[in-house]
Structure 1
């Protein structure tokens, strides 16, 4: 009953924030739904960025990786904070200013406008939107699966029922307030996430003691406490360093992350946003400790993704377990609402713009909200038929491949401007290389998308230069 009460109270708060955001954004202009009327202040902007980045993969997936592979995950997890900070300080301002100049409301629209203002731009916007729908839907399905696993034990219901309950809740507060509601609810959620992470650190460092934990891990396998490989990220422990560029690209190239940069107020200093990103991010780096605790004392779990629920059941008291579980649920919902918003925006705005439709029912807020509902329901149905895979790997498959696809047209274009043909080639190269390496080889999880980014950059520059020369010769 306590858990149901906590969920009910939090649901009322989130829906209340959503309704308030809906009134503040208004229904006359889609920019309220798409980019929050460019109204986010420094703390809310940082909170929504961190809450979305440090999501279910940090609270469920990362402890699962620590349980399966050992303490390297604790080291690897620390690279997300500096990566998000670099993206905020050195990329966000450029993206925000250029998007404001062009009048871009979404990342696909921004990509199209920076490469062509004609038919090629519309094709580019449509293709990027389709790739976003495909790959972010994969990531959204993984988030819903993680939510189902967590809520089932917390509320004493089946995983499918738990996933459906939370999916409907996320649909409700996302469809009403759009990105503004997503950002403000994230700001509330991240505070709980930070508290949950700090409680995990207190249990391991104070109540148990780091020496005791290391001793338990060594008694099972010395590789757990002092790994000599970089699994699952590569052959060498140094492979974990690849998470720094990977996480930077995550924040800068993934549309559900970088769209937040478009929503920040014009007069807000990115340095202030960066300070909050650093503080919140550092406080969220303790979560893999829960996986090491579960491996030390419960080494026979059926699945690595059960590491965090096991910690909550045995590592803390019942009341604190209930509260932390709610905060972990916040983390998952913060990403789920961002993904729903981004995928539904690709459906309701970007595909419509690519088809040249600027009037009618498809331009109304009702249509935008309908797309949120459809995306949420379809993702839940997809989760019901998902084969058994690790949640973190599924998230990397969707996120990493999308990141590789858009690397050339987002990051490279800030340093060197290519043309539309180079953009098409880079998207295809990044998509194919990353998807093949993740699905068809045993290469490390991070290495596949990074190789895809290199292929995307090479094709972006090479094809743009080649086609410019051929056009010059023809002229």
Structure 2
């Protein structure tokens, strides 16, 4: 019952933030829905970037990797925040400035305007939007599935019911507030995520003691605390460095990440945003310690994914466990709401602009919100009927293919200007190469 109370209370806070952000943005201009009226300050911009970038991996995946492969994950996990910091300091301002000059309000529109204009630009915008709908749509399905599995155990309901509850919540606050609501709710989520990570650090460093933990790990296997390989990233520990370019690609090429750079307020120093990115990223980098704790005291778990649930059951009291567990689906929701907003925007704004249909039988804002509802329902239906293995595979395929397809036309075009035909060729080659690799 306490967990239900936490969920209902947090849902009310998120919906309240959404309604307040909708009132602040207004309905006269789509800019509030699409790019938060370019109003994000340093902390909110950094918070939404870090929350979306780390997602649920920081609380479930990262401790699981540490449990399975050892302490190298403490080192490799830092490259996510490092990559986001580099993207913020050396790419975000260029993208924001050019998008402001061109009047771009979405990533497909920016790609079209920077490479060409007129009918060729509309074709390019439409193609990019369709690719985003296809590839990010399947990633959204995988996020909904993961959230449902986590919430089901926390609330004592079926995975389908858990997925439905969270999907309706994400639809509710995303469709009314747009990107402004997504950013503000992410900022609220990152506070709880950071507190949860610090609690893990307190348990390991203060209550247990680092010497005690290392001693227990050495008794099980000395390579856990002192890894000799770079598993799962490669044969050498230096292979973990590959996460740096990967996470950088994640930040600059995936539209649901890079659109945040368009939403940052003019005049805001990217150095200030970067400081907050570094602080929030550093706070979240304690989470692999939960996996090492679980390995030290419970070395025979059936699955590495049980590392964090095991830590929450045995490492902290039930009240703190409930609070931390609340923010694990929150971390996942920070990606789900971004995907839902980006896919619905591609449908409601970019495809409409590509077709030259700037006016319709309903207002643009109503159409935007209707698309959020439709995308959310389709994501839930896809989760309910697709096999779990297929959902995971499609999620990985969608992200990797989209990064390969859009890296050239978003990041490389910043330094080397191309034509619309060059942009289409770059997208096609990246798309084909990624599919070939898979």
Question: In the alignment, does 2:68 pair up with 1:68?
Answer: yes
Native 8 Å contact 2:62 2:287 kept in 1: yes
Partner secondary structure for residue 141 of structure 1: helix
Q: Secondary structure at the match of 1:358?
A: coil
Q: How does 1:338-417 map to 2 (within 5 A)?
A: 338-361=338-361, 364-389=364-389, 396-417=396-417
Instruction: Check conservation: 1:111, 1:125, Cα contact below 8 A.
Output: yes
Shift of 1:283: 0.5
CA distance in 2, matches of 1:252, 1:432: 20
Counterpart of 2:240?
240
1:2-401 matches, cutoff 5 A: 2-361=2-361, 364-389=364-389, 396-401=396-401
Measured after TM superposition, the shift of residue 389 of structure 1 is: 4.6
Post-superposition CA distance 1:165-218 (Å, at most 9, x none): 111101100000000111111111111110001111111222222333334334
TM-score (norm 1): 0.88
User: 1:80 and 1:374, CA in 2 relative to 1: closer, same or farther beyond 3 A?
Assistant: same
DSSP 3-state at the match of 2:59: helix
CA gap 1:200/1:390 in 2 versus in 1, 3 angstroms: farther
Q: What is the CA distance between 1:394 and its match in structure 2?
A: 6.5
8 Å CA contact 2:139–2:395 kept in 1: the answer is: yes
Residues 121-159 of structure 1, C-alpha deviations (whole Å, 9 max, x = no match): 222111211221122223222222221122112111122
Greater Cα offset, 297-306 or 400-409: 297-306
Distance (Å, rounded) in 1 between the aligned partners of 2:138 and 2:334: 16
Once the two structures are overlaid, the 10-residue window that deviates more, 32-41 or 156-165, is: 156-165
Which ranges of structure 1 fall in alignment gaps of 5 or more residues?
A: 440-475
1 or 2 for the larger relative contact order (CA 8 Å, sep ≥6)? 2
1:223/1:273 Cα in 2 relative to 1: closer, same or farther (>3 Å)? same
Structure 1, residues 391-424: CA drift from partner, whole Å, max 9, x if none?
9876544323211111100111011111122211
Distance 1:394 1:293, change over 3 A: farther
TM-score, normalised to structure 2, is 0.95
CA distance in 2, matches of 1:388, 1:301: 22
Q: Deviations over 1:267-318 (max 9, x none)?
A: 2111111111111111111112222222333344343323222221222110
Partner Cα distance (2:73, 2:379) in 1? 29
**Residues 66-120 of structure 1: per-residue CA shift (max 9 Å, x gap):** 2333222221100111211111111111111100111101001100111110322
Is the 8 Å Cα contact of residues 141 and 391 (structure 2) preserved in structure 1? no
**In 2, Cα distance between equivalents of 1:191 and 1:358:** 39
Range with greater deviation from structure 2 (346-355 or 101-110): 346-355
Report the CA distance shift for 1:141/1:293 in structure 2 as closer, same or farther (over 3 A).
farther
RMSD: 1.9
Look up the match of 1:460: none
Q: Provide the rounded CA distance (Å) in 2 between the counterparts of 1:234 and 1:391.
A: 25
CA contact (8 A) 2:340 2:376 kept: yes
- Over residues 39-78 of structure 1, what are the superposed CA-to-partner deviations in whole Å (9 max), with x where a residue is unaligned? 1111111111111112112112222222333222221100
Aligned partners of 2:25 and 2:32 also within 8 Å: yes
SS at match of 2:411: helix
In structure 2, do the counterparts of structure 1 residues 9 and 80 end up closer, same or farther at CA, with 3 Å as the change threshold?
A: same
Contact 1:340–1:375 (8 Å) recurs in 2:
yes
Q: How many residues align?
A: 438
CA distance in 2, matches of 1:435, 1:57: 24
Question: Are the counterparts in 1 of residues 383 and 391 from structure 2 also a CA contact under 8 Å?
Answer: no
SS in 2 for 1:79: helix
CA–CA distance in 1 between the matches of 2:295 and 2:422?
A: 48
Structure 1: which 4+ aligned runs deviate by more than 6 Å? 390-394
Supply the distance in 2 between the matched residues of 1:385 and 1:195 (Cα, whole angstroms): 36
SS of residue paired to 2:157: coil
Measured after TM superposition, the shift of residue 386 of structure 1 is 4.3
What is the aligned partner in structure 2 of residue 447 from structure 1?
A: none
- Using a 3 Å threshold, how does the CA distance of structure 1 residues 17 and 73 change in structure 2: closer, same or farther? same
